[in-house]
Structures are given as structure tokens and as C-alpha cells.
Amino acid sequence: MAETYDVIVLGSGPGGYVAAIRCAQLGLKTAIVERENLGGICLNWGCIPTKALLRSAEVFHQMNHAKAYGLAADNVRADLGAVVARSRGVAKQLNQGVTHLMKKNKIAVHMGTGTLKGTGQLEVVGEKGAELLSAKHIIVATGARARDLPFAKADGNRVWTYRHAMTPKELPSKLLVIGSGAIGIEFASFYNDMGSKVTVVEMMDRVVPVEDADVSAFLEKALVKQGMTILTGTGVESIEVGATGIKAKIKGRGGKIVEDSFSHVIVAVGVVANTENIGLETVGITTERGIIAIDPYGRTSAKGVWALGDVTPGPWLAHKASHEGVTVAEAIAAELGNKEVHPHPLDRRNIPGCTYCHPQIASVGLTEAKAKEAGYTVRAGTFPFIGNGKAIALGEPEGFVKTVFDAKTGELLGAHMVGAEVTEMVQGFVVGKTLETTEAELMQTVFPHPTISEAMHESVLAAYGRALHI
């Protein structure tokens, strides 16, 4: 006999485990299936441990620049093994936290590989063999993995994905990073601060190409100033792996191919959804380029099967997956007769993006270019950190905040930031967009002094010719 639940969640990443918790809170008998580590990639091999690495690199950078703060720190060195061990310790702590949350919410955990076996049926194969689970509702939250390049298969030795880059056996002397999205640029920043000579290759005409063009331009200048080599409009044609390093053929803007040598390469060209071999075909679900189509509440084309996170249309971000987890759980509860929940679909226009390089990047909504493409008459304002007292006092005067408004209605269309701690500030604009604020409310908001967040206020004022400190 199959063990029966109201809901089974396949995958325990930030979307899956949040969905399971919310289902349990709503009184649903819930199980979660995980083949590797509770918390998924984000907690164990992604968002959290990379931030621990970046924090170590940030402290190391500040110690090497202690003189600028009137301090002396001599013979500063990095212990790479200890840095990695701290990162893994942070991941372990959070994994244990998710384990505790499963117990607290009385969620059954089944460790093993899950496969759909038909409507309402999921087989789990683990250390104890195979077991069959059944439920009226199954949530697919299997996440994604690093995308490979045909000519650059990761070997963990010289050719790395993000997972290898988080647990290096040695510090690269000369590192090639292929791709300048969030993952690529964060590892480039980490290894550059740790002392590697870093080259970033990006096929698009600018780094972090999804960001506002002004942010991309500012970041590239900052990274070059830090000693990185940035090659945009450029692609890697091939790599040859040797015992002591790699040789890469790099095709530049003019079509000229040059060969260069590196000790290691990180391939950071996106992710691939984990939708193969999980039995989607048994319930009649097909994918497009590996992605499962869903309605605004997470329903798939198969009755009783839901999907969220990286197996669904982007952006492929942990916080987007978590929000979807709550939406799906509440939609399921509503279908099962709970009249007290009122699920709301995710508004993708209000999903923030954060990149934790040095300097940090954060944004929400439309870029200035995208707003114009969409037909808006735009008012945009920019305020530089050099005009902000707190940024100067912190020794972090490089950066800016840019806001984009609909000139006709005053609606906040987008906000784009680069500089110290902007990933902690962008939520102010996210709340504003969610509340459908206009420039009037933002202008009348009192921002605390002295804070870097005052640059947010000034950027709004600048869009209307009223900036006070520049």
C-alpha cells in the first residue's frame, strides 16, 4: 500500500521546503522528497555558501586596505582552506535549520530520488529501496543545475562549475570566467579579492547584461580598476585542458582569435532545469527547453500536478521560488476547500535581483531602455554615492542609485543600484512598487540620516530636478 498524503513536494530547495511548510501550516498532511540535501542548491551549494565566501573576501579586502581607515594590519594573508570550511559550516547550519523546520511542522521527509508514476503517484528510491507515495496534489520543485559548454565539460580539476568553485583545492593563479551573469561575476569578484588574476569573457556587449546599461558600465569600470580583465562581445571558441592548466581560444569583437593560458576556468553560462527523468511524461506534461508551463498559481497541464521555481519560467531566483511556494500551497488549500486563504499570483514586475559582487548590484522593475521600449515616456534620476555622507564616511563613495518613472503618471517603473550594501536597500523600492507608489509618496518619505539609503530619496528627487546634495 502506498503511503498517502494531501501534498507531496518533490525537491526541498527554497521553493519546495517553503511550499511544504505553508501546506503544513494550512493543515495539509505533507511529505517532501529530496535526493541530496534538505535546502536544495540554494542553502547547500548556492546563495548562502557563496555569500559566506564573499564575506570572507570582503573582510580580506578591507584588511588589505586598513591604512585608508587609519589602521595598521601587517602581513595579512588568506587561509583558503579555512575560508572554505567556514562557508561549508554556514551551509551545514542552515541545512540543519531546514531539518528542524520539517520536524516542527510535522512534514514527512523521504530521502531518495523521486519519479512520477502516474496521476497522484510518486516513487522514491533511496538507501532503503523503493517506496510508493500517493497524494491528491504533487508539487514539482526539482530546481536546476549548471549548464555545460560542449567543449568545456567540468572535471572539478581545471574546469569548474559553481560547485567546484565553492570548494577549491587551490587558489587559481590565473582564472578564466566564462559568463558575466550573477554567478560568474560573483566568483570573479571573490577570486579577484583573494588574489587571483581574473579574466571575464562575456558574449553580450556588456557585463551583467540584464541590468540597466548605466549599472553595467559602472560595474565594468570598477572591476577593471580592481585589476580584472573584462572582455565583452567576446566568446570562448575552445579550451584545451592540460596537467597544469588550460589553453583557451578566445574570439574577440573583430573576429580575431587569440590564445591565452589559465590555471583554471569557471563555466557560468546559466542553468538547466532538472525536469528529465522525473516522470513528467507519465502524467502528460511536456516541457519547452526543459521548462514546465504553469498558470499564475503554479498549476501545470496535468490535474493535481503543480510546479514552481527553476523548473518554471524565470527569473530563476531563490526568492521567486519561495514566493511561488506560498502561492502554490495556498492555491492547493483553496482547491481542497479552505475558504480562509486567498492566493495571489506572483507579479514578476516586482521581483528584485541582487548580485553580490564588489561593488554590489540590486534592481527591480524596468530598466530605462526597457521602459522606453514598452512605450513609456520616462523620467529618470540618478544620484551618486559621492554625494552621500554615510558612503563617504564608510570609505565606499563609489556607486549610485537610479530610479525610472512614468512621466505621465509618476508610477515607479524601476530602480537600479550599484555600490555598498545596495542589496539590503533595494527592498524599499520593491515595497514601493508593490504598493503602486508614485514619486509623490517617495518624495514625502522621511529617510534616516546618515544612511546610504538617503541616496534612494535623492535619486527620486533627481528624476524631477529637485536633488539637494549634488
- Tell me the catalytic residues: 449
Rounded to whole angstroms, how far apart are CA atoms 32 and 109? 5
Q: In DSSP terms, which residues pair with 355 in a beta bridge?
A: 361
Quote the CA–CA distance of 401 and 453 in Å, as a whole number: 9
Between the CA of residue 384 and those of 126, 331, 450, what are the distances in Å? 55, 44, 15
Query: Which one, of 306, 454, 459, 323, lies nearest residue 393 by Cα?
Result: 454
CA distance 247 to 199: 13
Helix (H) or strand (E) run with residue 218 in it? helix 213-225
Question: Any residues with CB less than 8 A from the CB of 448 and at least 6 apart, and which?
Answer: 454
Q: Which residues of 56-84 are buried (b: 16+ CB within 10 A; e: fewer)?
A: bbbebbbeeeeeeeeeeeeeeebeeeebb
Q: Which residue has the cell 565606499?
A: 396
401, containing H or E segment? strand 400-406
Contact 25, 2 (CB under 8 A): no
